[in-house]
Chains A and B, each alone.
Chain A
Amino acid sequence: MGFLSEIKVQKLKKYYENVKAVDGIDLEIKNGELIVLLGPSGCGKTTTLRCIAGLEVPTEGNIFFDDKEVTHLTPSDRNVGMVFQFYALYPHLRVRDNITFPLRAQRVPRSQIEEKLKQVVSIFQLENLLKRKARDLPPGDQQRVALARAIVRDPKVLLLDEPLSALDEKFREEMRSELGSLQKRIGITTIYVTHDQREAMALGDVIVVMKEGEIIQKGSPEELYEHPNSVFVGHFLGTPGMNFVNGQYTNGKILIDGTDLILPIENQSLKEKLRLYQEKLLIIGIRPEYIEIQQDGNKEGTLPLKVIAIEPAGRFRLVDFLLGEKIIRSRINWSFSIREDQIIQLKFREDKICIFDRHTEEALIS
């Protein structure tokens, strides 16, 4: 495979008539990494990908493949492989002709074409599909063919634009595992665009969360999940997302807005950090899996909350509790028996509490 040791994107900007699609992006992608551009629709992730592919010309900024500037080169000259959201297979061609298209376009000698075709077909197990017309294939197979076509000419980097969005839920899970496995086996640098945070976390070595043309946070999935730098990231990642309540900290206790509930803090280091934000308006965040049922009847450091709803989810249940006027979601396994309207003592894991500034929504303690 054609290797790159690094892709660098510097201060990338892409403006359209009245929209700033990409507004200052910096990226460094290492060889063999799978980096995910994650964000809601309109955040600029696809535009960034297309600039890297060469399908769009940036308004400002530079792109380097291994210290060589490629910012204004056409896609042809960059040697990238791309899988589009709807696969973009040539519908009238057979699978084999689709895969060999890029090689034929460059007038690669016949014998070499056959050689490459064989290689790629065995990786994706497409032996039985070679003679079928692309438009007759089901989406899962189409995707494999699109991938085969993308890598058949040893591109330097693989670009994927929401490749799984057109698939059924269940199928998506399978294909996602296959993609992840494939990328690790082949070892090609990959840039993956999606709005689905589950995909991003499951596949990415590095995740770049984007919103409105800017990067909000980038890092490993664990980093972003456990230490979000803003309410946006905390809410966006996770199934379900982080719970947020408004509150304030005074003298070792967190007061929760809209209730007379008080959450005393025991953890010393958390207390130290919170002291800086006494009397400030805060948002307290805690993930569903870090809310626990207090088992030993000890009411210290817990909140009594009422069960509003119970949703079975296979291995566990999602239980909704009422906290003031807000609803808090938590993950509870099946070993507890819970009924609706029951009041349960809940403990919040103090090492996992995140504190955000209510005004800027940025993380203060994370």
Chain B
Amino acid sequence: MLELKGITKIFGDIIAIQDLNLTIQDGEFFILLGPTGAGKTTTLRVTVGLEKPENGKVYFQGEDISNLPPAVRNFAFMFESHNLYPVLNVYDNLAFPLRSPMNRLPEKEIQERINKVAHDLHITHLLKRKVSALSGGEQQRVALGRTLVRKPNIYILDEPISSLDYKLREELQTEFKRIHEEYGITIFSATHDNISAMAMATRIGIIHEGKILQIGDPREIYTNPLSMTVANIIGAPSMSFLPCRIKKENQLVLNFPDETPLSVGLERLKKIKSVIKNEEEIFYAGVWPEDIQIEKEIETTGFIGAEVDTVEYHGAEKFVNISYHDIHVKALISPGMSYRHKDRILFSLPSEKIYFFEPKQGKNIDKLLTQEA
């Protein structure tokens, strides 16, 4: 079990990560997900021992390892730029960590381990080749292999596949997952790619501006995002947000001249009112694209009229970007529907699918504990 407690790391006058707490159980595939600059690489480097935090401690299996140098911690680290030794061939690259005097492994065992890993990663035919002669995907696999041969306590991978082109990424995603399950190892990884994070991780930690916003399994975070920021980071594509407010007589309406009402249950309205004290205070309704309902022409009550900006074809899915007043709403439509720029369109938000977010920190109102309000 790996624990990070209260880690703060500052570079100059930039606070990279602040009071970060994380627990990773053995055998998990934990992925830190967040935009560039959120503090992911810093967190990984502190865990491995390449950076010393200003504050906080790192524990492994209950022991305080905060002051130990990287070599002693025995974590494998895969850099974003994989850092293979260019003059050596694949075999020697894989053997390098095993030949270090700290390990003292007999050459026969080294060979056995390399052969197994090479077989699992489908790179056995590349063993004699020079690293510089390999393609990007092959290099990535060798880099991964170099971490796997070592039998470290934890595998720490920094953006292991995001620099590859999309098709290759898809392939390696599945392989990573398979290797994780087969070898039963603990993986602590970081990426900005929400799609691969959701595909591979057993648990995801959403990180933003140096703080962890939510931890949970992919489905959990998707269905119950704790804030607008979290929804933005995990969504593919993102949630649409519409401003709304509570009018007199407990009516919840969208904050536009036509004041379209949204129906919410009494319990929920009570909860919202306990957070949004002011009548005229604007907060946000968020909906996933697949939850927005679309009608073409028939004016049905409860549907809002707007204009089509563009249509995005994604093969298996189609999205329509809707212009409503000055905001954009993205909705999933069936591939059979066709719209053009400036067409009229009607959409509605089913109440049970709407998330509500308060304006100050963008937090999910339904998830706020009453004392936080």
Contact = CB atoms under 8 A, between A and B. Distances in A.
A225 B200 CA distance: 27
A173 interface: yes
A168 B36 contact: yes
B193 A239 contact: no
A169 B164 CA distance: 12
Interface stretch (B100-108, B263-271, B306-314, B364-372): B306-314
Contacts of A237: 315
Interface residues of B, number: 45
A314 B236 contact: yes
Contacts of B99: none
Interface in B149-177: 162, 165-167, 170, 173-174, 177
Contacts of B290: 315
Contacts of A201: 312-315
B327 to A, nearest CB: 13
Nearest to A320: B174
Given A169-B192, A311-B174, A320-B174, A184 B309 contact: yes
A222 interface: yes
A58 B319 CA distance: 39
B291 to A, nearest CB: 9
Contacts of A168: 35-36, 192
B261 interface: no
**Most A-side CB within 10 Å, residue of B162, B167, B195, B341:** B167
A144 interface: no
Contacts of B237: 173
Nearest to A200: B313
A241 B174 CA distance: 14
B233 interface: yes
A312 B199 contact: yes
A331 B341 CA distance: 29
A240 B195 CA distance: 12
A251 B328 CA distance: 53
A289 B166 contact: no
A180 B200 contact: no
Contacts of A289: 316
Chain A interface residue number, banded:
35 or more
Contacts of B194: 169-170
A202 interface: yes
Interface string A152-188: 0000000000000000111101000100110010000
Given A196-B166, A309-B177, A312-B198, A177 B321 contact: yes
B128 interface: no
Contacts of A241: 167, 170
B313 A221 contact: yes
Contacts of A262: none
Contacts of B234: 314
B119 interface: no
B193 A169 contact: yes
A40 B137 CA distance: 14
A170 B233 contact: yes
A198 interface: yes
A116 B198 CA distance: 45
Given A202-B313, A287-B316, A170 B166 contact: no
A238 interface: yes
Nearest to A197: B166
B312 A239 contact: no
A196 B219 CA distance: 27
Contacts of B341: 184
B192 A288 contact: no
B193 A331 contact: no
Given A168-B36, A184-B341, A314-B234, A177 B312 contact: yes
Interface in A225-245: 225, 236-241
B59 interface: no
A135 to B, nearest CB: 18
B198 A170 contact: no
Contacts of A315: 288, 290, 332
Contact of B222 (A198, A309, A314): A314
Interface string A248-259: 000000000000
Contacts of A203: 312
Given A198-B166, A311-B174, A177 B35 contact: no
Contacts of A181: 309-310, 321
B195 A313 contact: yes
B224 interface: no
A309 B175 CA distance: 10
A195 interface: yes
A253 B357 CA distance: 55
A136 B217 CA distance: 38
Contacts of A239: 166, 170, 314-316
10 contacts: A169-B193, A173-B237, A177-B330, A181-B309, A196-B166, A222-B335, A239-B166, A239-B314, A289-B316, A312-B198
Given A177-B310, A311-B174, 7 more contacts: A41-B165, A168-B36, A180-B321, A221-B315, A309-B174, A313-B195, A315-B290
A-B pairs, 6 with minimum CB distance: A202-B312, A311-B199, A289-B316, A184-B341, A180-B310, A312-B218
